[in-house]
Structure 1
Amino acid sequence: MAMQQNSSANIPTRTATTVDPAEIAKFSKLSQEWWDPHGKMAPLHKINPLRLSYIRDAACRKFERNVKSLNCLSGLRILDIGCGAGLLCEPFTRLGAQVIGVDPSASNIAAAKLHADRAQLSIDYRCTTVEEMDVRERFDIVLAMEVVEHVSDVGMFLNRCAAMLKPGGIMVLSTLNRNWKSFALAIVGAEYVLRWLPRGTHQWDKFLTPDELAQHLANNKLAITEQAGVVYSPFADRWSLSSDMDVNYMVVAEAM
Structure 2
Amino acid sequence: MVASNDTLSTRKPPAAGETDERAAGPSIDPADVARFSAQAAEWWDARGPFAPLHKFNPARLTFVRDRAAKRFGRNARTRAPFVGLTLLDVGCGGGLIAEPMRRMGFDVTAVDASSENIGTARAHAGQQGLDIAYRAATVEQLEAEGAGPFNVVLTMEVIEHVADPEAFVRSCSRLVKPGGMMIVATLNRTLKSLALGKFAAEYVLRWVPAGTHDWRQFLKPDEIRAMLSQEPVAVSGPYGLTYDPFTDRWSESDDAGVNYMMVATRD
CA contact (8 A) 1:6 1:24 kept: no
Q: Identify unmatched segments of 5+ residues in structure 2.
A: 9-20
**Counterpart residue identity of residue 172, structure 2:** C
Deviations 1:124-148 (A, max 9, x none): 0001111011234210000000011
Q: Distance in 2 between matches of 1:52 and 1:162?
A: 20
Identity of aligned residues (%): 46
Unaligned runs of 5+ in 1: none
Could you say what the CA RMSD is over the residues aligned between the two structures, in angstroms? Answer: 1.4
Q: CA deviation at 1:226?
A: 4.4
1:70 shift after superposition: 0.6
TM-score of the superposed pair, with normalisation by structure 2: 0.90
| Contact kept? 1:158, 1:220, Cα under 8 Å | no
1:178 lines up with 2:189 in the alignment: yes
Residues of 1 paired with 2:201 and 2:147: CA distance? 40
Structure with max Cα Rg: 2
Matched to 1:221, the amino acid is P
- Following TM superposition, by how much is the alpha carbon of 1:187 offset from its aligned partner in structure 2, in angstroms? 0.8
Counterpart of 1:56? 65
Q: Structure 1 128/13 Cα, relative in aligned 2: closer, same or farther at 3 Å?
A: closer
CA shift digits 1:111-135 (9 cap, x unpaired) = 0011011101100000111101123
CA contact (8 A) 2:189 2:216 kept: yes
Q: Distance in 2 between matches of 1:148 and 1:23?
A: 11
| 1:84 aligned onto 2:93 | yes
TM superposition score normalised by structure 1: 0.94
Separation of aligned partners in 2, 1:13 and 1:126: 12
State the Cα distance separating 1:30 from its structure 2 match.
Answer: 1.3
Give distance in 2, aligned partners of 1:121 and 1:34.
Answer: 17
Matched, 1:118 2:127: yes
Equivalent pair of 1:78/1:99 in contact (CA under 8 Å): yes
CA contact (8 A) 2:98 2:132 kept: yes
Distance 1:24 1:165 in 2: 25
Taking the aligned partners of 1:11 and 1:91, their CA distance within structure 2 comes to: 25
